[in-house]
Structure 1
Amino acid sequence: MAKLRSRDKEVDKSASDGAIADVNRALQLNPRNAKAYDDRGLAKLSSGDLDSALADFNHALQSDPKLAPAYESRGVAKAIKGDLDSAVADYNRAIELNPKLPGAYLNRGIAKAYKGDTDNAIADINRALNINPKLAAAYASRGSANFLARNWTAALQDYRRFCELSPRSQQYARFGIWMIRSRLGEREAADKELAAQFNAKGKDWPSKIQRYLLGNLSESEFLAAVSPDRKIGPDQRCEAWFYAGMKNLLDGNKSAASGLFEKCAAGPKNVSEHAFAKAELKALGQ
């Protein structure tokens, strides 16, 4: 599933301090500049400073209670913190104020998918795509919602469309394609396709997932590769448990898969693999 998002761009944790400094100067000139508070909140959100970002979004809405994008921004921050109901309420308000805001529909759809309401999630994402048919992340998100609903063919089509529109950041969509094709009895072809999409010597986390799925990294090596960093480690660990569970499931080891899915389902709720793991446990009758 697509990660929780900010406006029409994915939350990018590499936002520069310079962007925040620029907005600070704008706020010195006009302390009631609602858009500046929203922009600074987005920069803080990108750097992972959720509480400070929320404070800025609240300031933005105090200055301008009808600033629709600020409701969407605050909804994203709340969703990342796990408060999905409150996030949906903010997305609802953003849409009331601006029914043509595609990101609000998309983010509301993502939140609904995390809550297990896949039908309404897909309906919201469809609305986002009706407004902006080239919103690449919407295809990834709809693919994940279809994956959760076990609509394999539709999910596969959505992931492929996302990859067509987004030359970068395809790794997790590629994992989705691999899982679906493997489930549909195309494991060998899925392996070849996934192998062609990654640098065999890549050292980033997605490359380690790829090597594990293709059998070039043992399960123990894969789980040990999780970052010790407190910020990214918990998310990676949740992902690792899910992908290890999927590989075991596809290899016919349902008991081992179930145990790994349970660990993932007990992990961070803002990680898309958490929702995937819960769906797999439900399918396994647990």
Structure 2
Amino acid sequence: MGNMTLGKYLPFDSFIHRLDPRMKIVSLLFLLISVFFDAGFIGYGIIGLFVCLVVVLSKIKITYILKSLKPMIFMMSFLMILNVFMIQKGAVLFSIGPLSVYSGGLIQTAYILIRLVLIVALTTVLTATTKPLDLTLGLEHLFNPLRKIGFPAHEVSMMISIALRFIPTLLEETERIMKAQASRGVDFKEGSLKDKVKAIVSLIVPLFISAFQRAEDLANAMESRGYNPDGKRTKYKVLKWRLSDTLSLLTTVVMCVGIIVMSVI
């Protein structure tokens, strides 16, 4: 559980940290859209190099990004095995009993894995370089035009920010409960399927109770401080859009448009 890095903010003084959160959110959306276009390995290589450049500029260690991928290893392995045998495109490379592995299946599986890695890496960089409060302000500013149609911009941005902030907290709570249950003789790794189900239940039940308790404590704390989402709010911190934000956004948009064009041609 300690390998989960999503939602954790790293207080470094870097170029990426100083960028406007609105720019980072919009850039992330453009990058995520471009990731799902089939631009081939060259296109994904360009995006990968761009992500590496952003990681270097943010002063985040590559090992930190790799840690964010560890919890995804099981899902990636499952998807890889499933797609390799289910996608029947291209030439048959080899067979394992009644199952055959096709060249097209391997290529599509590689695309899926690369997309997952890029998505996790991009999201990790955003949360690691943006304070939860700045993320909330950025989302609220971006949602503000939707207020005209009754969209609760502040409430939605607050919920997203709280959810991201609670991810590392709940993971730490999960690790604490697992250690407590292990000290009582619960084995999460060995035993029959029935024993493993019982072990998981012994983990999930106290975790849900703890999560609901934390949510209630947070709600009571916000209410006791007079929080009113419908009231007129003033902001202690005002976001400022700078020239560096404009240039960074233009660079991201140009690269994403280039990736999309490569996928169409």
**Taking structure 1 as the reference length, what is the TM-score of the superposition?**
0.22
Question: Whose RCO is larger (CA < 8 A, sep 6+)?
Answer: 2
